[in-house]
Amino acid sequence: MVDILHRVGIKAPVDAVYKALATRDGVAAWWTKDTQGESKVGGELRFRFSAGGVEIGGVEVKVVELDPSKQVLWQVIGGPDEWIGTKIGWELRQEGEYAIVLFKHQGWKEPVEFMHHCSTKWATFLLSLKALVETGKGAPAPRDVKIDSWD
Amino acid sequence: MVDILHRVGIKAPVDAVYKALATRDGVAAWWTKDTQGESKVGGELRFRFSAGGVEIGGVEVKVVELDPSKQVLWQVIGGPDEWIGTKIGWELRQEGEYAIVLFKHQGWKEPVEFMHHCSTKWATFLLSLKALVETGKGAPAPRDVKIDSWD
């Protein structure tokens, strides 16, 4: 089992970061605009991604933990084969003027090339989250940062 | 042992990407301006990073492999404790109009918080490499993208 790990520091109260991770409208403002479902423990969220107006992929998750200002954890129940059963989580804490975000996308079976892609892509989305909370404007799909030929 | 993995696709001939990875001046244009030493197999490269005019860290590597347009591999011989003995490598191939870059920073003993930071930071430097080759202008330190309180 191999994991994707990231860390960003966001100049904001940790509550503001939590809100951007724990609510549907929050996630839609930094990951993908096409976010549907209910962000509550046991609820499901559905994400769609498109490029040039064509849908290129989707992900469905079950919300496993919502611990205010401390943690958000999802389990992937639909999407790319390699994602099924993996867990996506954010641990939060305040450190001075920074909200520190530790991100983990855990439980990949193999370090396939697609995992390399997703690792870089998650970094860009975490910087989108940082921009959203610090400036009010994120870069969710379809306005996301393009990194390679799979975007 | 845990690894940092990334993938970017650069719209350019793979030779141009190789040159940016395999030469001192190339690396200085996307990782850190303060790059010294000789990029030849068995040679050593020294990198220094500063913030606000103050040096905040350095890294030394031995060049292990230089396989034109295919691979560059370094072994870390100086720098942060967690980096000593790790290997940093890029595998390259042409795929249509894209040069595909698979990046690995391998051999971390533990998935410590500093590894999360370095994972995100490497993503920003790989996008700096992409920008350098595609547009002629990278974002090497000290003009690097800041991601958290350790930057």
* Each residue's pLDDT tens digit, A112-136: 999 999 999 999 999 999 999 999 9
Report pLDDT digits (tens) over B26-84.
Answer: 999 999 999 999 999 999 999 999 877 788 889 999 999 999 999 999 999 999 999 99
A-B CB pairs within 8 A amount to 94
Question: Angle, to 10 degrees, between the axis of helix B113-135 and the axis of helix B14-22?
Answer: 130
Query: What is the least distance, in Å, from the CA of A141 to any CA of chain B?
Result: 18
Percent of chain B with pLDDT over 70: 99
ipTM: 0.96
CB within 8 A of A141, min separation 6: which ones? A31, A32, A33, A34, A49, A50
| CA distance to A118, B28, B49, B89, B93, per residue, from B7 (Å) | 8, 20, 24, 12, 12
Interface of B with A (CB under 8 A): 2-9, 95-96, 98, 100, 102-103, 111, 113, 115-117, 119-120, 123-124, 126-127, 130, 145, 147-151
Query: What is the least distance, in Å, from the CA of B52 to any CA of chain A?
Result: 18
Nearest to A89 by CA among A114, A58, A111, A61: A61
**CA atoms of A22 and A27, how far apart (whole Å):** 7
Query: pLDDT at position B55, please?
Result: 82
pTM: 0.97
Q: Are B117 and B4 spatial neighbours (Cβ–Cβ below 8 Å)?
A: no
Query: For chain B, what is the radius of gyration of the CA atoms?
Result: 14
User: What six digits make up the tokens of A49?
Assistant: 């991604």
- Mark out the alpha helices in A81-151 (DSSP H runs): 113-135
User: What six digits make up the tokens of A62?
Assistant: 């079950």
Q: What angle do CA A43, A45, A50 make, to 5 degrees?
A: 175
Please state the separation of Cα A80 from the chain's center in Å.
Answer: 15
Tokens 């799979």 sit on residue:
A150
Residue B122 burial (CB < 10 Å; 0-12/13-18/19+)?
Answer: buried
DSSP string, A28-95: HTTTBSEEEE--STT-EEEEEEEETTEEEEEEEEEEEEEETTTEEEEEEEESSGGGTT-EEEEEEEEE
